Amino acid sequence: QVQLVESGGGSVQSGGSLSLSCEVSGYTGDTYYIGWFRQAPGKEREGVAVIWTAGGTTTYYADSVKGRFTISLDSNKNTLYLQMNSLKPEDTAMYYCAADTLTPVKTAKQALEAVQLYNFWGQGTQVTVSS
């Protein structure tokens, strides 16, 4: 059984930093997409950043977080990370990690956008940024 467990959320002032972790267990596939998504109150869940594990570490970021957030994967520890710097109040949301093979998807950009295709999700961790 695939399990994803996030940790590291919290409250921070605008301009501050937070680091999220997602421990993955039970995933037997060698190649898959894994990434971070977020959902603010009253808004749809959106992609933040993804990694395609085949052929190295192809990453893709949402325009809103490029240059501020960094996604990374430690395969030895089966842990996904999201380093968030220069946080803004609009980054406030519940953050989720998700993973799937996403067979129909051909690019990391598509994987970021195909929120509805992910079958494996963590329980989420809250990030709150105050102005």
> What 3-state class would DSSP assign to 48?
strand
Stated as kind and residue range, the H or E segment containing 34 is strand 33-39
The residue type found at 30 is: D
Query: pLDDT tens across 27-55, in order?
Result: 877 678 999 999 999 999 999 999 988 75
Greater pLDDT, 56 or 72: 72
Give 107's pLDDT tier (boundaries 50, 70, 90). confident
- Mean pLDDT of all residues in 90-111: 91
What's the confidence (pLDDT) of residue 34? 93
Q: Name the band, by pLDDT with cuts 50, 70 and 90, for residue 60.
A: very high
Contact call for residues 6 and 21 (beta carbons, < 8 A)? yes
pLDDT > 70 in the chain, percent: 97
9-24 pLDDT per residue, tens:
999 999 999 999 999 9
pLDDT at residue 58 in the model: 87
**What does residue 44 show for φ and ψ, rounded to 5 degrees?**
-75, 155
pLDDT over 80 (residue 80): yes
> What single-letter amino acid sits at 112?
L
Q: Are 22 and 91 in contact (CB under 8 A)?
A: no
Q: What is the mean pLDDT of the chain?
A: 93
Query: 96 versus 54: which is more confidently predicted?
Result: 96
